[in-house]
Structure 1
Amino acid sequence: MATRQRIMRIRRDYNRWVADETMEDYALRFTAESARKWSAFRVANTALGSISFLALEAIGGALTVAHGFTNSIAAILFVSVLIFIASLPICLSAARAGVDVDLLTRGAGFGYIGSTITSLIYASFTFIFFGIEAVILAAMLDSFFGVPLWAGYILCAVVVVPLVTHGITFISRVQTWTQPVWLVLNILPLIGLLIAHPDWIEGWTAYGGQHGDNGFNLLAFGAAVSVLFALITQTGEQVDYIRFLPPRATQKKWVWWGALLAGGPGWIAFDVLKLLAGSFLAYAGLQAGLSVAQAVQPAEMYRLAFGTLIASPAIVLAVTAVFVALSQIKINVTNAYAGSLAWSNFFSRITHSHPGRVVWLVFNIAVALLLMELGVYNTIEQVLFIYSNVAAAWMGALVADLAINKPLGLSPAGIEFKRAHLYDVNPVGVGSMALSVIASFLAYYGLLGALAQAMSTFIAFGVAFAAAPVIAWATDGRYYLARKPRAAWAEKSSLQCVICEHDFEPRDMAYCPVYTGPICSLCCTLDARCGDGCKPHARLSAQVMTPLRAALPDAVIRALANPVGSFMVVFLLFSATVGIVFLGIRAQAPASADLDTAFWKAFFVFAVIGGITAWALVLARQSRLVAQEETRRQTSLLMSEIRAHQRTDAALQKAKETAEAANMAKSRYVIGISHELRSPLNAILGYAQLLERDNSIPERRRDGVRTIRRSGEHLAALIEGLLDISKIEAGRIELYRDEIRLPEFLDQIVQMLRLQAEAKSISFTFDAPPRLPSIVHSDERRLRQILINLLSNAIKFTRAGGVTLRLRFRSEVAEFEIIDTGIGIAPDDLARIFEPFQRGGNSHAPSTPGVGLGLTITKTLAEVMGGEVTVRSTLGEGSTFRLRLLLSGKAEQPVAEERRITGQAVSGRPARVLVADDDADHRSLVADLLQPLGFDVRLAADGAECLRLAREEAPDLFLLDIAMPGMTGWELARQVRENLGLKAPIIMVSANALELAPPAEGQHHDDVLPKPVSVAALLDKIGDLLGVTWTFADRALPAPSAARLSPSQAANLRHLAAIGYVGGIRERLDALEAEDPEASAAIAELRGYISEYRLDAFIAALPEEEA
């Protein structure tokens, strides 16, 4: 399974138009409650500004002229009731949720990408009706004042732009200022006309249209319904304003509902009056002698009506011009505003870019202007019929989801609009809309009969309305939400977006796993890098491929996925779309063989163009996928180094679990009893250190005590080695920066391994440069472990010859070479020699104990320390392991001579130390160590006794074991701090090194100390925590007993000490004692300094050089 690509956060800075919400008006996002600052009346009044569009009068007049009074009025009343019922749930849901019609559609059955189709439908509605209104005004300017149409189009388009740039803020002012004037100019001429010609009312109601039949005709009624039903899309424009209604809880109930009904579905009531007015005015125009074309023109209608009130033709012309211009501006600011929102939503999802709502405002007006200049609106009637079917299908699916699915629980309650929480396509809305479009087109093109053709728009709405609940029930509503929002966020007032770093209300935020933080809906919409990492199952590609994989063989799926298959799919879709459009156009034309030939030629031309376009799209997509895959691969390679140790540890863990389960059990058992091993070892080492400090111990016994201590330290190192395996398994290797006295350090290792080599009767050679740095920095224990592992392996597999340790230094980089003359390693084994649980496959190799972890641990430790281990070998001749490691040096400083602590340099009450440990030997050891130094030591065997003594004695220091019966040391430390309120320092002591960690904030201890306890380390910590001033035993300089040595002998020993060659010093002292037995006393004292690695005292004891 591929890991999710990590994407670095890059702060998104929006341009001034997007950042300014006064201009942006919350396009693409939830309308924040803090932004709903206008009164309910003002919002409703702004929404009602859309009723001013004169296309209503034109439609009402055209329907009356075409189908007569009875059919047109019946259609107007029927459609108005249906639109009111359909608009109510849409406006109510939008007002409650604070979303525009696009965001509402997303959450009401269409999905994130599915609603892109409806955004395009809605945007088309806005520029179509913008153009219709502008054409009406331009025609009036041409007819009344002689302004050329092309200039009138530009004027009508440009004048709207500055009124809409600042959204509802300025539009609400425009509508408030113009509403009273418009109402007066709209009502007065109608009253004047009715007063002047009251008899026309009777004639109007009896008017039968151009066909002269005023009876009800179902076909005529259906045709009128199809035209009128396109107005339902106007509900979307009402929603774009209604979303600014103040929250319901902040308003009186009747005020809020009144504003909602008036500004929302109530628009259709006002439109009915205007449709009726247009119907009557058209009849009046015909009665006044106007032509049919003039009678259905709104400008001519109102010029006739104003003429009944005003005698002067010039004033009538002027007043009519003012009224038409005012009506056009009032409706077109709404068309332009709604179009800017629709295009913003459409292009933001297609391009993942949003230059600002103002840019799309200009774009929407430019499209309308282009269509006007090209004269498209002169032949737009057929397009409107088709558009009406598609719009009705959208609204039918939307209303069904809001009015049926949500109340019945077929879809989730509320409106979810964020990309992060939605499926790309919801089959409820998209599927029902597709079914209704197919059914309505079949009806529209006459395939279902004449009546169905007349009622095609109503069929579109009805099929979508019926299909949506069925699909929601069939899919169990699972395609509404890809994931649920975080419930805990609802309690917060605001959250900061990790991308744009602005604060937004929780409803506008989603958690992004790719950017690992909250992200606002706008930044989420515009992000093109995340690949929908939060919902991979809800992407369009996944939704398409899942059913295809279930239905088609794998071979077919692979064929469709390759570039040729993708090209065929895109090309066929394009060709089918063009073919359907051509069929629709051809169906409206008369039968003609020449016309058929022309259509086929046009189709093939478009097919060629479509093929080229499809191939370009497929190649571009393929290139993008390759680039994305390359980016992911490069990112994976760049991250691989960071994850290298994690993968190594995981692989080692898995290998041990599968290949060496029994050995793992044994290892874990040994680690588990390490606590029990450390406890007695603690007593051994502790008392060995005490005896070593005791001056009463004879000198001849001191070597034995030192042997006991060194053996104990070696045993402790073995236990640490077992713990190292556990730490490597758990990935918890910790490195320390120690000061290593390199000559002494190397001599210890050389002397230890030389004994092993001598036991096998092979030679051991140490080859080092003449001068080595006295002090280097590294992890001493890990470096010792690496060298001992490599040298032990070399000795183990060498039967004859010898082993050589060679050291070279270059620019603080140490290069160790371990060369042996052993059996060597086969070439096949070299590749896996460092893998866990792997041992050489040489059948002639001696049988040696081991589980195959030594070299694995060595290589891992070397790499963790920043070095490397390499090997070269020849089978039968030997091997050379090379370790390269940075050992940074330190300026040489005189070594402070270690002095033995004898007590404290203070008077008064001795410091009281309370020791809590279930091990009696450890308690006795600490008491024997501290009491001679002037401490008052109190002992407790468990936590309860420790708490009792703490209350009674008020100790100055606590030494607490971690693993005690009844109460752990951690709990005991907490009670000492919280329950007793004691501030005395606490040192935690444990035999389990895995339990120890330096104190962190909020913990109750001051320091940690592992068992076996180092006396020097314990005294150093006590001195630091209690501020003790120690007293030391005087250590006299060595007596000049070494004066028996000759100057040349002393000079030779001084040279060996200067280079730190302790092994050479020991060999030379043995030779001198054999030459001069009487010098044994002086040599013994010099040997004592060397055994303690006190090279400064050794040099001081040598005779001075001759001048």
Structure 2
Amino acid sequence: MDEKLIQQELQRGFKWLKFAPPVEEAYRAFHNQRVQARLPLVHATALAFIIIYSALDYYLFPQQIASWTIPIRLFLVCPIIALALYAGMHSWPRRWFMPLYNGTYALGGLSVVAIIWIAHSQNVMVPYDGLFLVLIYGYFLMAIPFYVATMISTLIYGLYLLVELDVGMDKTTLGFNAFFLFGANLIGAVGSYIQEHAQRTLFLNLQLVKIAQRGAERANRSKTRFLAAASHDLRQPLNAMSMLAESLSAKMDRNSEEGIIVGKLRRSLSQLSDLFKSLLDMSQLSMGVVKPNPRHFYLHELVRRVAMEFDAIDIPSSRPERIETECDEELVAYSDPILLERMLRNLITNALQHADAKAIRVNCRRLNNVLEIHVVDDGVGIPSRDIKRIFKEFQQGGDEEGRPRTGIGLGLAIVRQLAGLLGGALTVKSSPGAGADFSFTIACGRANLVAPQPEAYPETRTLGGMSVWLVEDDQPSREAMRQLLDAWGVQVEAFADARTAMGRLHDETPDMILSDYRLGGAISGLDVVLSLRRQSGRDIPAVIISADVEMLQVEAGRYPSIIFVAKPVTPARLYLILSRESARAVVENAAE
């Protein structure tokens, strides 16, 4: 609906309770929905009153009168009300339902007039108070449109006066009755007008809210598309830079002047990568782009993998003496493993960069229906005044000892938001000089719902002699990755598109497939892996790298035998992943 048209109706004021045709049609549909929503309570109340009055007729009226009034109530009015109730609960079209609904009010009022006429014609005086109840019921409880309610009520009022004139009621009594009923009608009409005017105002305001929501959703979708495109375009060169720096380092003496410079370059790129990930994660969390994709999985596998990857970091100043893990192999979590892994990485990185920790311990335990995860370090600790502040964006703890600050203060803010997404409580216990204990909870999973996983092997092996097919459409990224793999002694065959790689399988089968997800066409890297696996008849170890983090969350749950990694990926992490997958393949081939 057009916002300009809605604003015009609000400015005009619709004092005659009428909108322009397109708005009026939408309002009537809105009113019909509200009437049907309240119908069970409204008509159930009416049926209850009719049954009660039928019982009173039976006990209070003479038999010759009750024999007329009870059938009118039970066999004429009740079936129509029941039919209207049925129509509303089964969503009859408005053109049929609303006349039937309004008709129940008219029939109810006319039945009361008829009962008064029958009683008075037999010289049995009954009060006209029942008409007041009918008017209140129609004007307010049924929420019949103002003009319809006023017309029906006036008809009931007029017929009542004619009936009393017909039975010869004295003029003084009739005058009093007419005056009070007229007053009740007038009050009901004013109340009905106010009620409908307020409902029409509410309808217009709700339409403006919906229009604003749709606009916000369009803006969010636009931001999401922009963020995804910017993320992809920025991750690609950053990933290539990391690979090239690692390749250059592998060819140099690290103790030479050139080697030292390259080492500094590698550290700078690592910091740049971390900053980029933090900024992007914070942007996605703030925009609500990140959605959890929970599944059942064994917690110890994820914890051990994260610890091993940190142990593989080849930057001495950033490596703790040890990262210990204490996690029962039977613990099953129900959470998003990608987001959970991000939380653990941020907490461990925080301990390394900001706490000068030399020992880090990750503990997992079950508490009732949740799993509690602790990341404990022996670092410098956090002053009590800083504990709340460190979880805010762009905030870091104090530096009383003059330690240089690194990062921009987003790591723990991201942890806090991720904990909220995963539905867990995040707490920290710390004091200066006593280290810190960060803990959070996630839901317990069920072992029988864990997706089949390839058997995990903690051992790694050197990559020398290993054959890898590299599928990457971006030429700089492809060349950087190829050079890095060459430096590791890997036999690389690089493909610029998916079809070339899939057609090559007829000649030989690689030990592993390393592919980007988006390959610039209709066929994705995942399609390449699945196709090559089908053609070869075996699950070739595969790693898919992508800048599309949201896609990784979805596909990782669907294909647990494929490793999905977000760009930019550090060379140390890539090496560890490839070596572990290579070790897995060696053991599986030997078993065959």
TM-score range, shorter chain: 0.3 to 0.5
TM-score (norm 2): 0.47
> Which of structures 1 and 2 has the bigger CA Rg?
1
TM-score (norm 1): 0.28
